[in-house]
Amino acid sequence: MQLKKETVRKKQLEKLTQSKSTWSKQLNELCLYQKLFALASWKNAKMVAVTLSSGSEIDTKPLILQAWLQNKDICIPRIFPQRQIRFFKLEKQSKIEKSSFGVLQPAKTEKEVSKEKIELVIVPGLAFTQKGERIGFGGGYYDRFLANYHGDTLALADPVRFFPAAIWQAEETDQNIQQILTI
């Protein structure tokens, strides 16, 4: 029997909160970064989209630093009405603010990046399967964005986020991720 996404989301948030300050989480992230930086999709991308992580999410600061060290451009999402996200270039002087959900995002005055220029999107989430199925944080923002996105997508899934198969009910609007990196 498959569970409702909301049930899995709640359980995942509890598990991720418990593990967020552990060495094993940090070590798993280091191993994921190493795998990511060896991928052709990372090496070839000139514009990479990531979130500004917080809390129990996979820490994206090392991704941003590595991208800058390799002269890649980074863009980060901003939330818009009708549960839409658009991406804006992240530079050292970029203005960052908190959304009404408490998520760090670029100010509206920053430089928007067209979807076509983004070559790699590193998709956040709470649960992933090897087939690319995903449970996000709710709202369908990334599913809407990815519905007509044609670049590469991948996700970093530490052992707490990785499921051999989906235990949740898929929705018609779900967008699978092309590649799931695991430990």
Q: What is the pLDDT of residue 176?
A: 97
Asked if residue 7 belongs to a known ligand binding site, the reply is yes
Asked if residue 142 belongs to a known ligand binding site, the reply is yes
Q: What is the span of the domain harbouring residue 156?
A: 5-182
Asked if residue 132 belongs to a known ligand binding site, the reply is no
**Phi (first) and psi of residue 67, to 5 degrees:** -60, -45
Task: With a cut of 90, say whether residue 39 has pLDDT above it.
Answer: yes
Count of domains observed in the chain: 1
Q: Taking CA 119 as the corner, what is the angle to CA 34 and CA 135, rounded to the nearest 5 degrees? A: 70
Average pLDDT over the chain, rounded to whole? Answer: 95
pTM here?
0.95
Q: What is the pLDDT of residue 21?
A: 85
Asked if residue 140 belongs to a known ligand binding site, the reply is yes
Torsion sign, CA atoms 66, 68, 72, 77: positive
Asked if residue 79 belongs to a known ligand binding site, the reply is no
Q: What is the pLDDT of residue 147?
A: 96
Asked if residue 149 belongs to a known ligand binding site, the reply is no
Task: With a cut of 90, say whether residue 37 has pLDDT above it.
Answer: yes
Distance CA 35, CA 39 (A): 7
Per the DSSP assignment, residues forming a β-bridge with 152 are 120
Q: What is the CATH number of the domain that holds 94?
A: 3.40.50.10420
Q: What DSSP string runs through the chain?
A: -PBPHHHHHHHHHHHHHHHTT-HHHHHHHHHHHHHHHHSHHHHH-SEEE-----TTSPP-HHHHHHHHHTT-EEEEEEEETTTEEEEEEE-TT--EEE-TTS-EEE-TTS-EE-GGG--EEE---SEEETT--EE-SSS-HHHHHHTT--SEEEEEE-TTTEESS--B---TT----SEEEE-
Asked if residue 135 belongs to a known ligand binding site, the reply is yes
Asked if residue 39 belongs to a known ligand binding site, the reply is no
Each residue's pLDDT tens digit, 116-153? 999 999 999 999 999 999 999 988 999 999 999 999 99
Per the DSSP assignment, residues forming a β-bridge with 86 are 78
Task: With a cut of 90, say whether residue 1 has pLDDT above it.
Answer: no
Q: What is the pLDDT of residue 100?
A: 83
Each residue's pLDDT tens digit, 7-30? 999 999 999 999 988 899 999 999
Confidence tier at 168 by pLDDT (50, 70, 90)? very high
**Phi (first) and psi of residue 89, to 5 degrees:** -65, 135
Asked if residue 87 belongs to a known ligand binding site, the reply is no
C-beta separation of 25 from 19 below 8 A: yes
Each residue's pLDDT tens digit, 55-86? 889 999 999 999 999 999 999 999 999 999 99
Q: What is the pLDDT of residue 92?
A: 94
